[in-house]
Amino acid sequence: MANPIYSSLPTTIFEEMSGLARTLGAVNLGQGFPDDPGPEAIRAKAADAVLNGYNQYPPMAGLPELRQAVAGHYARTQGLDLDWASEVTITSGATEALAAAFLALIEPGDEVIVFQPLYDAYLPLIRRAGGVPKLVRLQPPNWRFDRAMLEAAFSASTRFVVLNNPNNPAAVVLPEEDLAQLAELCVAHNVTAICDEVWEKVVFGDGIHRPLMAFPGMRERCVKIGSAGKMFALTGWKVGFLCAAPQLTYSLSRAHQFLTFTTPPNLQSAVAWGLENALDWFRQMPRDLERSRDRLVNGLTRAGFSVLPSQGTYFLNIDLTASGVFEGDRDFCLRAVKEAGVAAIPVSALYEDDAVTNIVRICFSKRDGTLDAGIQRLARAREQSRGA
């Protein structure tokens, strides 16, 4: 018999919109993957490792060279002092790292604070582990929480908080004051933070990503999750990093061993090389994405859309109401893909309740021609909506 926890779930909005884009031949500005193939030198290392390297099971926790590279990278870039042998585990993508964290740590009945809009894997995984989600509603245009919101969310039953920063779909990088307030309450309530930080290298302008693990009192109560797929624009590789204090890592690794057990060794080897040698990539990649973001912003603005600020990630959001479009985001996105030939994501799909229904997420990690075609088709969808 099918398990009701999963059989009752709808298809993810990303697969729905990407499926429609494939079927209809639409421009896909919905799902967050780049048009470009990723850094050639890192891809070449992976190819060489397949032909000339080790292709059997690597260690369950990951290749030592990659675990050392992860610890070294975070020491250089974020000031974290991680012991690679006892505090770093390699996973098959960040979603597997999230699953390992939830399944390893959450006990039935534990209350888990989650900020919505949210990555759609969080709630099913939390519930599978027996957790009880406590939803905190964020809203545009700043998508921030304040102390009153946090104090209302934390209770005697709270055991975990899930934080996505930089945030998808909001495209904000949380300021230090917000993170400090969250850390303070985690310490006061003895709460562990599970931090989805996969967009940590995709930050624009003068923005700075600070890991919650770096705040006072959080070193021993924080699980930090990173993604080589997002760092190197190689989303299909599914190589994730799971970093936590030894007592947490012991449990995390035990869950990981019964999920995917391990990750392809050639990809691990190539990512290890990239973390040690891709300084130019880490410097240039955000600039290139920022240029693409600005191209999309300018084009959408000329087409009459009201665009919210994007401080990081591959995404920006448009406010339909402020753009003169008075239909719900899901209706607009379905009509846009079916009638105008462009796929986008309705942000309401990333809320469980009390959804914001006038925001549409657009991906800009695309070639100029793809962006320009998307702008033209979104403009057509806007005019069709206004004329309806």
- Maximum alpha-carbon separation in the chain: 62
The count of other CB atoms within 10 Å of the CB of residue 348 is 18
> What's the CA gap between 240 and 96, in Å, rounded?
8
Written as six digits, the tokens of 336 are 């846009």
> What is the number of other CB atoms lying within 10 angstroms of the CB of residue 149?
14
| pLDDT tens-digit readout, 206-247 | 999 999 999 999 999 999 999 999 999 999 999 999 999 999
Dump strand ranges (E) for the chain: 27-28, 88-91, 111-116, 132-137, 158-164, 192-196, 222-227, 240-243, 306-307, 315-319, 342-343, 345-346, 359-363
pLDDT at res. 1: 47
Q: What is the pLDDT of residue 267?
A: 98
pLDDT classification of 12: cutoffs 50, 70, 90: confident
Residue 57's Cβ-count burial label (10 Å; 0-12, 13-18, 19+) is: exposed
Encode pLDDT of 47-85 as tens digits. Answer: 999 999 999 999 999 999 999 999 999 999 999 999 999
Looking at residue 142, its amino acid is: N
> Rounded to the nearest 10 degrees, what angle do helices 368-387 and 279-302 cross at?
30
Half-sphere exposure in the Cβ direction for 18 (13 Å, CA):
10
Tens of pLDDT, residues 91-147? 999 999 999 999 999 999 999 999 999 999 999 999 999 999 999 999 999 999 999
Secondary structure of the chain: what % helix, strand, coil (to 5)? 50, 15, 35
**DSSP code at position 221:** S
Enter the tokens of residue 83.
Answer: 């012991």
Sketch out the chain's domains with CATH numbers.
Answer: 4-31+280-387 (3.90.1150.10), 40-277 (3.40.640.10)
Residue 23, classified by CB atoms within 10 Å of its CB into exposed (0-12), middle (13-18) or buried (19+), is exposed
Q: What is the DSSP code string of 7-75? A: HTSPPPHHHHHHHHHHHHT-EE-SS---SS---HHHHHHHHHHHHHS--SPPPTT--HHHHHHHHHHHH
- Distance in angstroms (rounded) separating the CA atoms of residues 180 and 212: 8
- Quick one: which of 127, 108, 62 has its CA closest to 263? 62
Query: Under a CB-based contact definition with an 8 Å cutoff, are residues 292 and 316 in contact?
Result: no
Band (204; pLDDT cuts 50, 70, 90): very high
| DSSP summary character for residue 204 | -
Here the tokens at position 362 are 């657009």
Instruction: State the chain's mean pLDDT as an integer.
Output: 94
pLDDT at 4: 57
- For the ranges 12-21, 28-37, 265-274, the lowest mean pLDDT is seen at 12-21
Q: Which of 310, 232, 367, 316 shows the shortest CA–CA distance to 30?
A: 316
Contacts of residue 275, defined as CB under 8 A and 6 or more positions apart, other chains included, come to 66, 69, 70, 72, 73, 228, 231
Residue 3 has pLDDT above 80, yes or no: no
Those residues with Cβ within 8 angstroms of residue 302's Cβ, 6 or more apart along the chain or in another chain: none
Q: Phi, psi at residue 270, to the nearest 5°?
A: -70, -40
Q: According to the model, what pLDDT value does residue 94 have?
A: 97
Q: What is the number of other CB atoms lying within 10 angstroms of the CB of residue 79?
A: 11
Three-class SS of residue 162?
Answer: strand
